[in-house]
């Protein structure tokens, strides 16, 4: 389903089997989705987002690894149908897929990052242009592995909550 947005009232009323995939499209961490579902019904969006932030703090390393493994590389917009792919395409709208120099630099940076850290480079791309994303990638390549996993986890949480906020925009 390309349009994954819903109203808070519809989210509150939806059976768990229908609401859970919407949450897992934000980030594929089952415990996070289950904690949000367990708090329904919510009085307002800010209450849902507060639970989402608490449920993501902290995620286990296994949860982080699972979520990072499911995340597409920056610059490689997924073409598959589905809510997660649609979210990723929207978030990366500041990266022009036809800019060969940016595509090359992102591909090289992604490769270097994955070789250094063992997982995909993840940054909150929404609202950022390609040059900001490349600057973040360059900076983060200088981190020590124990620092970088914390930065990646923080970005993952930001992305998950931002996606949830957008999902509830209907």
Give the Cβ contact number of residue 70 at 10 Å: 13
Handedness of CA 23, 27, 31, 36 (dihedral sign): negative
Given a cut of 80, is residue 91 above it in pLDDT? no
| % of the chain beyond a pLDDT of 70 | 85
Angle between helices 100-117 and 130-141 (to 10 degrees): 30
With a CB cutoff of 8 Å and minimum separation 6, the contacts of 52 are: 32, 36, 160, 161, 164
Distance in angstroms (rounded) separating the CA atoms of residues 75 and 58: 28
Handedness of CA 38, 40, 42, 45 (dihedral sign): positive
Greatest alpha-carbon span in the chain: 48
Instruction: Identify the band that residue 1 occupies on the pLDDT scale cut at 50, 70 and 90.
Output: very low
State residue 12's pLDDT score. Answer: 97
Tokens standing for 96? 């022009």
For the chain, the domains span: 8-167
pLDDT tens-digit series, residues 40-50? 999 999 999 99
Q: So what's the architecture of 8-167 in CATH?
A: Orthogonal Bundle (1.10)
Residue of 14, 157, 35, 93 lying closest to 6 (CA atoms): 14
Element housing 163 (H / E): helix 145-167
Q: Note the pTM of the prediction, 2 decimals.
A: 0.83
Mean pLDDT across 134-145: 96
What are the residue ranges of helices labelled H in 14-74? 16-26, 30-38, 45-55, 61-70
């Amino acid at each position: 389903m390309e349009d994954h947005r819903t109203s808070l009232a519809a989210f509150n009323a939806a059976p768990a089997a229908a609401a859970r995939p919407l949450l897992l499209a934000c980030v594929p961490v089952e415990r996070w989705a289950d904690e949000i579902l367990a708090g329904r019904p919510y009085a307002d969006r800010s209450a849902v987002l507060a639970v989402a932030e608490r449920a993501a703090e902290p995620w286990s390393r296994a949860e982080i690894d699972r979520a990072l493994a499911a995340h597409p590389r920056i610059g490689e917009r997924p073409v598959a149908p589905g809510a997660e792919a649609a979210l990723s395409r929207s978030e990366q709208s500041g990266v022009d897929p036809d800019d060969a120099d940016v595509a090359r630099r992102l591909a090289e940076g992604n490769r270097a990052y994955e070789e250094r850290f063992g997982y995909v480079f993840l940054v909150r791309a929404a609202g950022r242009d390609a040059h900001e994303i490349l600057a973040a990638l360059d900076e983060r390549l200088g981190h020590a592995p124990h620092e970088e996993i914390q930065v990646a986890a923080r970005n993952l949480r930001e992305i998950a909550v931002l996606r949830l906020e957008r999902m509830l925009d209907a």
